[in-house]
Structure 1
Amino acid sequence: MPSLRREEARERAALLSVHSVRVELDLRDARTADTFTSTTTLHFSTGTGGATWRTFVDVSCVRLHRAVLNGVQLDADVVDGRLALDGDQLNNELVVEAEMAYSSDGEGLHRHVDPADGETYLYAMSFLDAAPRWFACFDQPDLKAPVTLLVHAPGTWRVLGNGPAVELAPGLVEIRQPRPLASYFVTLVAGPWASVLDEHDGIPLGVHAKASLAEALRREAPDVLAVTRASFDAYHRLFGLRYPFGEYHQAFVPDFNAGAMENPGCVTLRDQMVFTGAAGEFERCGRASTIAHEMAHMWFGDLVTMRWWDDLWLNESFAEYMAQRVCSEATGYDAWSDFGIVRKAWGSVADQAPSTHPVAGNGSATAAEALSQFDGISYAKGAAVLGQLAVHLGDRVFLAGLRDHFARHAYGNAELADLMAAWTRAGAVDLEGWQRAWLQTSGMDRLEVARDDEGWRLTRVAPEGGSGRSHAVQVAAFGADGRELAREAVTVAASPVRLGLPAGSLVVPDADDATWARVRLADGWSGLDALASLESTPARIVVWNSVRDGVLSAELDPAAALTLLEEQLPAEPSDVVVKTVLGAAAGTWAGPYTAAADRPAVAARLAALAETLLTGAEPGGDRQLVAWRTLIDTTTDQDRLTGWWEGTGLPPGRELDEDLTWRIAVRMSVLGRDQVVEPTLERHPTAVGRAQAARCRASLPTAAAKEWALQVVLQPSELSAYEVYAVADGLFLPEQHELTAPLVPRWLDGVAATSGFRSGWSLSTVVTRSFPAAHVDPGTLEQVDAVLARDDLDPAVRRPLVDCGDALRRALTSVQRFGRA
């Protein structure tokens, strides 16, 4: 199905004004049928003054039953997801009745049958272009209209959507949202959901999850609702405009591809956020940030929507920035640390890849191209840049501009220029220069600190092509005991800046982690004996990020980085830092960045480090949980793993929950123990269990297991999307390099064709997670480049291949430079 072109969207928006959308859905047979009937009534007008007009409506259906325009049955069929329309009336009514298919890939109207109890659940995911999979619409962000859903569903089900749900009769529910909605955030959630209801400041609140998660939902709801209430209060205060969409539901749904989706009135989130077992403060912080992020979209994205997908970054960057700010200021969670060590690192990798792009103004010609650029640059880099701007402008100007923007464009659409104009009216100056430097250039500057006979100096090294950026940063000097000795506030651009900081100290540029740049210290990565004792958490995060970036850039030997971890991580105060850095070491450093023959020895060092952390951790604490998870993932002690799986010899203060049990089962499978899969699935017959069982089967070190996994990845499968993702995770493992080497050419030969039966998120996710990253050799790179030379690749295949190929190239450079095998 062709992706909507920008020029087509412009032409259709110039022609049409959509006044209302009414969708009637018959879901009464959802438990047994594979399809449902969707009848959409669209009222729209044209600006042709009575002249003949032509356009199309988007609908992706199994069968078109009827299409009636102004009372006349159309003699047309759906071609490539489009139904052609032509007429000569100013005011029009279009009725489209079609048979639609329930999806299993998390897009469109997704159906999930819970293996825990056999109950059926539905939810709609319309982003980015999936709305036509469950109702006919003019599917582009600048054709907004009020939406009414009329839903026929089993009478025992709870039905939720973008507005209040009103039961008109048993099994018949109406959901009406009078405020205009873009098609991409129209949603429906239906099924026997467990619910916790509340109210805050006049806003009805609800949190919902599958019935099998009812106990966990009741346990987690107080924290979810506390974050929700605090976030509402903060946004009302900051934006000066109340939440405009009525009720506010948060549905934690299964098989969800994104982290969450900002549907007005009914946010959908991954149900893994309803923690069923042990969860650390860092995981609750991540959930809190997601809640605040999606709520920020109610203003930036939903109230005011971008005109075309090029400005999607505005939605995400603002939500990302505001979420970290509101979480840290209003909820008690340290979201800025999570942003620094997790989110910024994600964006940094994207901004150094060949696929890097400016934050704004990417000129995406189609919706599919825009989706392929939906990445860490759109989120983390944009948020960091906006944070800088907020500090530069000051809150008075920054927030006044936002309030002006919301007031002028409420319930409509806007572009970047409209936001810049609002800030200018509020008192901002020279935004054009800032926009050129930060939003319209790609790549990362590097901030380097060095010492010569005249003292310390800070230098900005721009990426190839230049950037024109200036960095207003704090530079701090720390003593051997980790205490801060002095700091300077400086602005560095093309010319180096001299610093009056004391000699003999560890000097950290951007010590508050406020800018967007790579950092290099004066002595490289030596002289970091005091790293864990630095009294500033942001400064430690900057240094740890520099270490990780050094490894990924093949400037720092992964073995030396691991030695630093062994020396410093046991004393690192932040659990999210320990979790993230240890995860990087166990995943990337010990895998692709280590020669295949050396990987067992590196894994053994990581297991020993995890053992040290486990022994020194407080029983039942977050540090203990991080260490135990890492030890499970890296140990080769099968007797110990068996004991843990049986519930014996557990770390003090710990109980064996479903997530930990499956983690142990996966590791045992990697080591060749296939006897645990079925007993574990009998113990935990859940959706998570089915996915993890699939991962176990794919992880077994046998040719038959790998052949099965390859077929699941490269051929249409009856497995759910999450099961396919889990199989992808188990296909090419660093420890099974020799076993899977013959499969690499077959994967590369077949991956392009998977766009024939997968699309969007599910397609790119499977490509990314099944990529043979552990096969670090020139031959693999040559084969990847040969696939990329094709001109028929779907963007959802090309982008992950570009990025994964770049990561492979970097790993090969590191292995060739530092490898010992």
Structure 2
Amino acid sequence: MPADDDTITETAAPLSLTRTEAVERAATIRVEHTEITLDLTRPGAAFDSVSVIRFVLREGVAEGSETFVDFKGTELVAVELNGSPVDPALWQQGRIPLRDLRRANTLRIAGTMAYSSDGEGLHRHTDPADGKTYLYAMSFLDAAPRWFGCFDQPDLKSTYALDVTAPIGWTVLGNGPSGQLQPGQWQIRPSAPLSTYYVTLVAGPYASCYREHDGIRLGFHARASLAESLEAEVADLASVTVASFHYYHRLFGFRYPFGEYHQAFVPDFNAGAMENPGCVTLRDQYIFRGRATRVERASRAGTIAHEMAHQWFGDLVTMRWWDDLWLNESFAEYAAHRCCSEATNYPLWTEFGIVRKDWGSVADQSPSTHPVAGNGAPDAAAALQDFDGISYAKGAAVLKQLATYLGDEVFIAGLQDYFAQHAYGNATLADLLAAWQRAGAQDLDSWSRVWLQTAGMDTLTIDGVALLRTPPDAPASDDSAPPRPHSLAVAAVDADGTEVARQQLTVTGNQAPLGPTDPRTALLIPDAGDETWAKLRFAALWPEVAALLPRIQAPLSRVVVVNAFRDAVRGGEVDPALALDALLGLAAVDDEDVLIGSVLRFCTDVLAATYTAVAERAERVARIHQVADQLAGSSAAGSDRQLLGFRYTIATCVDAERLRRWLTGRALPAGLSLDPDLTWLIVVRLAEIVDDERVIDQALERDPSAAGRVHAARARAGLPSAAAKQTAWAALVEPSELPASELYAVARGFFRPGQTELTAAYLPRFFAEMPLTAALRSGWALGQVVSDAFPLSHATRATLELAEAALATDLAAPVRRSMVDGTDIVRRAVRSLARFASS
């Protein structure tokens, strides 16, 4: 679409929609239908987009009222309202005012839009493996207007029709069945109303596999260079997808409403996946190019089940505003773990406890903590900061606790009522509570107040005769709120780790008496079934708990004890050296791979890095290396545990010659062979300890794929040379053509625990220059780069002072959130190092 003399180019940054504005706009108009026409054949970095939107004034709103529409293109070609032109010069900061509205209105917006490289809007990726170009649209959270004009808020749903002109030979997918009318001309007609934030488009020469289940066409799609890997994975992908459909249809009592169900594995994806109705987009790392463990396949199964749960939680019934985002994410998180554990070959409750809940507990104890529900997000940009471990893991843990509290029959009946009452519309927390109350729940207002609307974690402690509850510290807690009820099990284990007794109880006040203690008891474990959300402490001394931990036989009991150790380290209650002893002792003998992997990661990334004085890091890394090496050597040849151990052997290896031998395929453990991912793991570690860029170049020649480029970016940023660091730094703080996935890799590779002397000069620069990147980036990428690059390896008072000084300045919301969370980690580590330095 050529620009003409009336074309306007927008330069000012778009405004973020406020909740007040959203409420006012939703009270003014109702959107009926949106037609989007795209031309993707235009050469260059832009494409043409035309939106035709039919909308009406709400009852009681007078004709002549006004509102605004969202458009974040690069050029506004023309706007017509009810057949009359609107002055394009009115377009300011991503908005076009619409005045003198009629009872029924037709709006046409024609513009030029820019392809993105940051994973938002219409993202374009050229696969270095074969030069083919791929597109996918990410409209979340407020990115939809970057590829089509719209009224962009979750409670203005609309029916849609998309007409797309694409290069001949491409596949085009969207939220409904797509059909090719003639070569290059595609039509997509979604079957149900959609919110703007999950309208999507996937286009390119994708490789595809198709299945069918219960009348639902299933599609699986990936870049052509991953076609062979997709074929190898599709049986497992389809199995999990089919099992999830069976489970959710039975559980929710409402059939999947969006027609076909496509899963597109796309490049440079910011999140794990996005729940676009009928066309879920997932990161293409889930199409494994090499050997994958059962734990990794289980994690993928969890993501598949999570995004499918969203077809009900979020897509069928959508939150009215972002402060109720937990209605999407907490439920999808809970439902996915329940679905996988009950309906697939991948039980996930151990993974939930050891991985997801630890993520959430860190977030809930940070200064940035917030309630699960009713976060009061003043605008869309602020809401993005609350998509964290609280909205996902804590919310899911609270729902698991609620199911125990209400009983499953009432819990599920309430959900089914909620879907029936609000299908294809929007809802709030109050609507869900009302559904549970109709199903028979009692006193949910009080329960909601203390569990969903109060931040922070209770602490549960056993003093020998009672289970004690301590509320969160102010200001996270609501001092006027009643105590949280906790329904949980307390297990007694003997000196061999065998459970000799278990009692179920509910703490409704600040303590609950325990029954008689079995004389064989060596340790009482609160919340032994991992059923509640709280910090756990023991009557026994930490050294005694550490000695017993490797012998505890019940997996979930081991999970809660490990989590207690991790939390106590962060709280400055346990010497990291003692925690390292305990956790390495467990990793050496445990029989749950997901637990071993989580423990080794914590030891490597935390106990031998941030929570260790620089002078002591090498010794701790060597200890982890020894345990991992023994694990790889003692495990069955070709087993997942052998591969898990070998990965951490590589990650902690300081012997360059040994790494080089592995890189040539020599001296590998029997049963293991090099694949692209394992090769890159060796290259990244070798690059971190030896300044030899040739090894990266050679690996990239062998694997010139998109994944290879990401690994290479990470390896180059980790090279131990001043020149490499300067190049990496420039990519982080200056305008860069790197796609977001490579930029994140550079950020993760910069401040390495073994390179503190080399990177010390960048500490003041980080806190001075990173905030300025708000002029270069927005949305997800802005906060993610700051978070990934945060100098956690420099846990010193000097770093803390620099961080606190930066926080005292005016920062963009995504930068501030990442700075707050990173600063809290450094602050906790500094306290721990000061307390335990003498030991």
TM-score, normalization by structure 2: 0.96
Aligned with 1:545 (options 560, 563, 567):
563
For 2:631, the equivalent position in structure 1 comes to 613
Q: Does 1:73 align with 2:124?
A: no
Is the aligned partner of 1:474 residue 2:489?
yes
Deviations 1:121-165 (A, max 9, x none): 000000000000000000000000111110000120110000000
Deviation at 1:50, TM superposition (A): 5.0
SS in 2 for 1:196: strand
Partner of 1:798: 816
The letter for the 1-side match of 2:523 is: L
In structure 1, distance between residues paired with 2:548 and 2:237: 38
**1:718 matched residue in structure 2:** 737
Distance change (3 Å), C-alpha of 1:532 and 1:57? same
Of 253, 262, 268, the match for 1:255: 268
Task: Supply the distance in 2 between the matched residues of 1:120 and 1:746 (Cα, whole angstroms).
Answer: 37
* Among candidates 612, 619, 643, match of residue 594 of structure 1: 612
Aligned to 1:464: 473
SS of equivalent residue, structure 2 residue 437: helix
CA distance in 2, matches of 1:446, 1:542: 13
In 1, Cα distance between equivalents of 2:436 and 2:740: 43
State the match for 1:515 in structure 2. Answer: 532
C-alpha contact (below 8 Å) 1:519/1:546 kept by paired residues: yes
1:690 is matched with 709
Could you tell me which residue of structure 1 aligns to residue 381 of structure 2? 368
State which of 520, 524, 527 in structure 1 corresponds to 2:544: 527
* Structure 2 unaligned blocks of 5 or more: 1-13
1:764 aligns with 2:763: no
For 1:276, what is the secondary structure of its paired residue?
A: coil
Question: Could you tell me how far apart the structure 1 residues matched to 2:375 and 2:487 are?
Answer: 26
SS of the counterpart of 2:269?
coil
User: What residue in structure 1 maps to residue 3 of structure 2?
Assistant: none
How much does 1:306 deviate? Answer: 0.5
2:684 maps to 1:666: yes
Q: Distance in 2 between matches of 1:629 and 1:60?
A: 44
Q: CA deviation at 1:535?
A: 2.4
Q: Secondary structure at the match of 1:365?
A: coil
Q: Distance in 2 between matches of 1:238 and 1:669?
A: 50
Q: Is the 8 A contact 1:594 1:819 kept in 2?
A: no
Letter in 2 for 1:81: G
- Whether 2:106 is the aligned partner of 1:93: answer yes
Aligned counterparts, 1:621-660, within 5 A: 621-660=639-678
The structure 1 residue matched to 2:405, chosen from 373, 388, 392, is: 392
2:61 maps to 1:45: no
d(CA) in 2 for partners of 1:524, 1:266: 52
Residue type of the partner of 1:89?
R
Q: Output the CA distance in 1 between the equivalents of 2:541 and 2:266.
A: 46
Alignment check: 8 A CA contact 2:78 2:88 kept = no
Q: Secondary structure at the match of 2:153?
A: coil
Q: How much has 1:697 moved relative to structure 2?
A: 1.2
Q: Distance in 2 between matches of 1:561 and 1:442?
A: 27
Q: Where does structure 1 differ by over 4 angstroms across 4 or more consecutive aligned residues?
A: none
User: Secondary structure of the equivalent of 2:313?
Assistant: coil
SS in 1 for 2:695: helix
Q: CA deviation at 1:589?
A: 1.1
Contact 1:129/1:184 (8 A) holds in 2: yes
For 2:597, the equivalent position in structure 1 comes to 579
Listed as ranges, the matches of 1:416-435 within 5 Å are 416-435=429-448
C-alpha separation in 1, matches of 2:352 and 2:558: 13
Equivalent of 2:355, from 313, 318, 342?
342
Q: 1:820 to 1:117 in 2, by over 3 A?
A: farther
Distance 1:289 1:524 in 2: 36
SS of structure 2 residue aligned to 1:761? helix
What is the aligned partner in structure 1 of residue 807 from structure 2? 788
Instruction: State how far apart, in whole Å, the 2-side matches of 1:727 and 1:240 are.
Output: 46
**Letter paired with 1:809:** R
Aligned to 1:502: 518
- Does residue 439 in structure 1 map to residue 471 in structure 2? no
Distance 1:142 1:284 in 2: 35
* CA distance in 1: counterparts of 2:101 and 2:178, whole angstroms: 37
Cα deviation 1:518-565 (Å, max 9, x = unaligned): 111222322243423322111110011111111121211111111113
How many residues of Structure 1 are paired with residues of Structure 2 in the alignment? 814
Aligned-partner residue type, residue 743 of structure 1: Y
Name the counterpart of 1:63: 75
Q: Find the aligned partners of 2:228 and 2:157 in 1 and give their Cα distance.
A: 39
Secondary structure of 1:459 counterpart: strand
Q: Distance in 1 between matches of 2:711 and 2:838?
A: 35
**2:6 counterpart residue number:** none
Distance 2:550 2:256 in 1: 43
Q: Is the 8 A contact 2:610 2:794 kept in 1?
A: yes
Matching residue's letter, 2:696 = V
How far apart, CA to CA, are the structure 1 residues paired with 2:46 and 2:837?
55
2:276 partner SS: coil
Could you say which residue in structure 2 is the equivalent of 1:167?
180
Pick closer, same or farther for the CA change 1:759–1:49 going to 2, 3 Å: closer
State how far apart, in whole Å, the 1-side matches of 2:513 and 2:18 are. Answer: 51
Q: How far apart are the structure 1 equivalents of 2:656 and 2:368? A: 42
Give 1:460's aligned amino acid. R
Q: How does 1:62-141 map to 2 (within 5 A)?
A: 62-77=74-89, 78-141=91-154
Q: What's the CA shift for 1:692? A: 1.3
Q: How far off its partner does 1:450 sit?
A: 2.4
SS at match of 2:98: strand
Three-state SS of the structure 1 residue aligned to 2:113 is strand
Q: What is the rounded CA distance, in whole Å, between the counterparts of 1:719 and 1:368 in structure 2?
A: 24
Q: Please say if residues 159 and 193 of structure 2, whose CA atoms lie closer than 8 Å, have aligned partners that are also in contact.
A: yes
Distance in 1 between residues matched to 2:495 and 2:203, nearest whole Å: 59
**Amino acid in structure 2 at the alignment position of 1:471:** H
Q: Give the distance between the partners of 1:497 and 1:800, measured in 2 at CA.
A: 39
Displacement of 1:51: 2.5
AA paired with 1:72? S
TM-fit CA distance, 1:92: 0.7
- After superposition, what is the alpha-carbon deviation per residue over 1:320-365, rounded to whole angstroms, capped at 9, x for unaligned? 1110001000002121111010000000000000011111111111
Aligned residue in 2 for 1:812 = 830
Residue number among 155, 161, 167 corresponding to 1:154 in the alignment = 167
Structure 1: distance between partners of 2:61 and 2:754: 69
- Structure 1 residue runs of 5 or longer lacking an equivalent are none
Shift of 1:619: 1.2
Question: What corresponds to 1:728 in structure 2?
Answer: 747
Alignment of 1:263-412 (within 5 A): 263-412=276-425
* Residue identity in the other structure for 1:416: L
Q: Distance in 2 between matches of 1:574 and 1:530?
A: 17
Q: Is the 8 A contact 2:34 2:158 kept in 1?
A: yes
TM-score (norm 1): 0.98
**Which amino acid in structure 2 is aligned with residue 226 of structure 1?**
S
Aligned to 2:7: none
Is the Cα contact below 8 Å between 1:460 and 1:493 reproduced in 2?
Answer: no
CA shift, 1:168, in A, is: 1.4
Superposed displacement of residue 37, structure 1:
0.2
Residue 602 of structure 1, CA deviation: 1.0
* Cα distance in structure 1, aligned partners of 2:356 and 2:750: 27
TM superposition shift of 1:88: 3.4
Describe the SS at the equivalent of 1:590: helix
